[in-house]
């Protein structure tokens, strides 16, 4: 999530609050027992279907934020120390099953890899970290969900020509290892090459980028696709997600997007917290939203028609990999927003994945609606709004 890095301190405060009220908080200090024999090397049966066909089977999803994407590890030690570094508990099979049982059939697993790569130029992934990622992927698949696995807060990546050669080498070495580990998995596992590739800390970070940044993102997407396609196993037929610049939902980034030719297994990834002043803004925000007010619904409506024109009409499906609205003590409005947003996207065949960072107490970006510790929906009304949008 694009503002997580700036909110780490607030989220650590949320972690303390969660620990004090959570019945299973002791799990955060214990390494989870291995439940599977890793890696899984059996080549599973895999349907040779298009990305559009695959996406049509998706309803709505849950993005497991502030977990494996954490870049803070207590004492830089075991995987679970990173997994809990941003305030969440160790992920359990039961927590993922609870999400699936509520109607979510897509699990996005954001993963930051940079802190777990060797420094000798081979960029070898720490085996313990890869094993733990593998376990969580298996939790989702075993629950009957589609699983999207990505690279998330990769701070080494900067999309300009000066960094392209080094970045493309590291990206290829990283994805060749991920692709090899999961090469036997079937079509229900999707790879997402990059999260929000952008020129960080510049004027181009969140404005849709400049031409150089947009074109370098296209080239990095191509490196990812080529690397996975050449990695063997089932990866030649695997559906792959590629983002616009910064995963931006701006029309300028759609226009600049280059979709690989002669590959019908590509999905476009965008993130859209809209309307911004309701969904995400920390300044000049509003807690008001109504589906009967055109000023509230216009931006959502426009996004769907624009995605249709640029991608859907050309045979390339879209997944909104991150969406959500922060808690402002306005549950009724949030439920109405979720129902409308998911419903409008559903009309166009676009699955929406709620960004849940586990934060629902204190200050900061309070996107959490599900307690992974207790298995209860903290904001059941919001969850029900998501499901009602699919009806």
Catalytic residue list: 196, 322
The encoded tokens of residue 45 equal 């049966």
- Return the H-helix or E-strand segment holding 227: helix 211-229
The encoded tokens of residue 140 equal 């989702």
Among candidates 248, 243, 240, 257, which has minimal Cα distance to 310?
257
State the Cα–Cα distance between residues 2 and 243, nearest whole angstrom: 14
State the Cα–Cα distance between residues 180 and 232, nearest whole angstrom: 7
Strands, E, within the chain: which ranges? Answer: 60-64, 106-109, 146-150, 189-192, 240-243, 266-271, 318-323, 352-356
Overall size of the chain counted in residues: 391
Q: What angle do CA 26, 27, 28 make, to 5 degrees?
A: 90
Among candidates 39, 48, 67, 53, which has minimal Cα distance to 152?
67
**DSSP at 75:** G
**DSSP string for 30-45:** SPPPP-S-SS------
């Amino acid at each position: 999530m694009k503002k997580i890095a700036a909110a780490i301190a607030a989220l650590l405060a949320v972690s303390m609050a969660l620990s004090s009220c959570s019945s299973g908080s002791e799990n955060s200090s214990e390494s989870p027992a291995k439940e599977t024999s890793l890696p899984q090397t059996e080549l599973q049966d895999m349907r040779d279907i298009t990305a559009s066909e695959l996406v049509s089977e998706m309803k709505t999803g849950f993005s497991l934020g502030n977990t494996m994407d954490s870049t803070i590890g207590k004492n830089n030690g075991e995987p679970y120390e990173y997994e809990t570094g941003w305030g969440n508990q160790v992920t359990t099979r039961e927590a993922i099953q609870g999400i699936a049982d509520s109607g979510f059939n897509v699990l996005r697993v954001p993963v930051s890899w940079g802190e777990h790569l060797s420094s000798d130029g081979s960029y070898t992934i720490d085996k313990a970290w890869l094993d733990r990622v593998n376990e969580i992927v298996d939790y989702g698949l075993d629950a009957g969900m589609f699983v999207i696995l990505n690279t998330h807060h990769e701070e080494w990546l900067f999309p300009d020509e000066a960094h392209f050669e080094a970045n493309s080498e590291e990206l290829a070495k990283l994805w060749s290892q991920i692709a090899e580990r999961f090469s036997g998995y079937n079509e229900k596992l999707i790879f997402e090459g990059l999260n929000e590739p952008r020129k960080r800390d510049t004027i181009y970070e969140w404005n849709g980028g400049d031409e150089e940044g947009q074109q370098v993102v296209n080239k990095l997407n191509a490196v990812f696709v080529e690397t996975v396609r050449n990695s063997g196993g089932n990866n030649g037929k695997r559906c792959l997600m590629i983002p616009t610049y910064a995963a931006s939902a701006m029309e300028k980034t759609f226009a600049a997007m280059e979709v690989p030719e002669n590959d019908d297994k590509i999905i476009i990834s965008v993130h859209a917290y809209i309307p911004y002043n309701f969904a995400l803004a920390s300044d000049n925000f509003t807690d008001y939203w109504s589906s009967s007010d055109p000023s509230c619904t216009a931006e959502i409506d426009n996004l769907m028609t624009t995605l249709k024109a640029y991608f859907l009409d050309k045979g390339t499906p879209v997944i909104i990999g991150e969406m959500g609205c922060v808690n402002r003590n306005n549950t009724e409005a949030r439920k109405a927003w979720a129902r409308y947003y998911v419903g409008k996207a559903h009309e166009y065949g676009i699955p929406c994945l709620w960004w849940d960072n586990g934060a629902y107490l204190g200050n900061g970006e309070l996107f959490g609606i599900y307690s992974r510790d207790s298995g209860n929906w903290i904001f059941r009304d919001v969850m029900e709004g998501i499901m009602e949008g699919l009806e």
